[in-house]
Amino acid sequence: MSLQYRAAVLHAAQTPLSIETVTAAALKPTDVLVRIRAAGLCHTDLEVIEGSLRYPMPIVLGHEAAGIVEQVGPAARGVKAGDHVVLSWNPHCGHCFYCDRDTPILCEEYLGKGPKAVPFDGEVRTTLADGRNVQQLMFLGSFGEYCIVSDQQAIPVPKEMPFDRACLIGCGVMTGVGAALNLGAIAHGDSVMVIGCGAVGLAAVQGARLAGAGAIIAVDLDPAKLVLAAKMGATSGIDARTGDAIAAAKRETGGRGVDVVIESAGSASAFRATTEAVRPGGQVIWLGKIDVNNDVSFRWGSLMQEKRIRRVSYGNTRPRRDFPLLARAYLDGELLLDELITCRIALEGINDGFAALKRGEAIRSVITFD
């Protein structure tokens, strides 16, 4: 008898998710069946719901999750039944042009099949009650009680790690902390500006603190987020509605500009501010997204003077190395995650959760499954 479970299904952009019974196929050799215990609502899911990011439908969204391994296929490696895992959304083939060049996030299989929601082996794992295939967002689809993933995507973390906080490591926290620690070569005492203090930005603030940054200037339109940023390590905050982030970057650095600017706001004006606020030779790291068909203009002079501008989407992560490290940092009190959770909701509350995210009211709403 095949496994059936409840999941939130999106049938068309700009319609509510509906909670339905989904049937899972038998596990393939390297598959892992995970019982989801917590899943975060991320902006990327919202982009799919709103239609600015297009995926085939019907689809189960959700790509920031933690759970317990229920069963593994006979050839699954690195994970076993009973493990507590955080899920990664970047499976990769390991032998294409980009994997060979140490950039699994650009893996040809991953980028070729992910946006089409086609599994690496082409075999869809889940069906709806009427027998139609239902896709999994980025080889995951964690807004459900279970999820079949590849062994590469299920990363064991210590069992003391609470699931609702563990799940955040799977996307937002990894993206922000990784930008600071894996990509931004932040030296002790460096000045760092973080523009946009949602989950990713607050994680970037923490990454900067963990890297030993001196001044950490947080910028946001919402004073409540600046208060949180201060808790996470920001040494000053700029309310972008009334303050001038570029002037602050100059003021704190004797007029030079900061060593590193991390952008996590996802707006044209934030992108523009990054290259103005950084010092000559400094680093700019873009994490935010806007519609891919939009233009962003820059003052040409702001791009000069040996500035290093990088775009990164998953914090240059190596999940098997980084997820357990971040879990350990949480357990040791060095990485704050409790404060990122605005509310815990049931699967049935998912549409309200996304409405709150859209209104900018939530850092993270987390679905918990009991």
Q: Which residues contact ligand CXF by CB under 6 A?
A: 42, 44, 63, 89, 137-138, 171, 313
- Choose one: 22-30, 34-42, 93-101, 341-349; the region binding Zn ion (CB under 5 A): 34-42
- Choose one: 36-44, 224-232, 300-308, 334-342; the region binding Zn ion (CB under 5 A): 36-44
| Other CB atoms within 10 A of residue 188 CB | 8
Q: Which does 274 bind (CB under 5 to 8 A by kind): ligand CXF, Zn ion, none?
A: none
Instruction: Considering the complex, state which of residue 175 and residue 275 has its C-beta at the smaller distance from ligand CXF.
Output: 175
Widest CA span in the chain:
69
Instruction: Considering the complex, state which of residue 63 and residue 113 has its C-beta at the smaller distance from ligand CXF.
Output: 63
When binding is defined by CB under 5 A, the residue of 10, 31, 44, 314 that contacts Zn ion is 44
Instruction: Considering the complex, state which of residue 140 and residue 213 has its C-beta at the smaller distance from ligand CXF.
Output: 140
d(CA 51, CA 201): 24
Q: Which secondary structure element, helix H or strand E, spans residue 108, and what is its range?
A: helix 108-113
When binding is defined by CB under 5 A, the residue of 22, 42, 137, 173 that contacts Zn ion is 42
45 φ, ψ (degrees, to nearest 5) = -60, -40
**In whole angstroms, how far apart are CA 281 and each of 192, 261, 285?**
14, 12, 13
**In whole angstroms, how far apart are CA 115 and each of 48, 60, 118?**
11, 13, 8
When binding is defined by CB under 5 A, the residue of 140, 171, 192, 260 that contacts Zn ion is 171
Nearest residue relative to Zn ion (C-beta): 42
Helices H / strands E in the chain, number of each: 11, 18
Q: How far is the CB of 311 from ligand CXF (least distance, A)?
A: 12
Q: How far is the CB of 75 from ligand CXF (least distance, A)?
A: 26
Nearest residue relative to ligand CXF (C-beta): 44
Q: How far is the CB of 30 from Zn ion (least distance, A)?
A: 24
Instruction: Considering the complex, state which of residue 253 and residue 313 has its C-beta at the smaller distance from ligand CXF.
Output: 313
Q: Which does 66 bind (CB under 5 to 8 A by kind): ligand CXF, Zn ion, none?
A: none
Q: Which does 24 bind (CB under 5 to 8 A by kind): Zn ion, ligand CXF, none?
A: none
d(CA 105, CA 121): 18
Structure tokens at 192: 């760092």
Cβ(281)–Cβ(307) below 8 Å? yes
Q: Which of 20, 29, 90 is nearest to 58 (CA)?
A: 20
Instruction: Considering the complex, state which of residue 41 and residue 258 has its C-beta at the smaller distance from Zn ion.
Output: 41
| Other CB atoms within 10 A of residue 251 CB | 12
Size, binding site for Zn ion by CB under 5 A: 3
Which residues are paired to 193 by β-bridges? 217, 261
Residues of this chain that interact with Zn ion (CB under 5 A) are 42, 44, 171
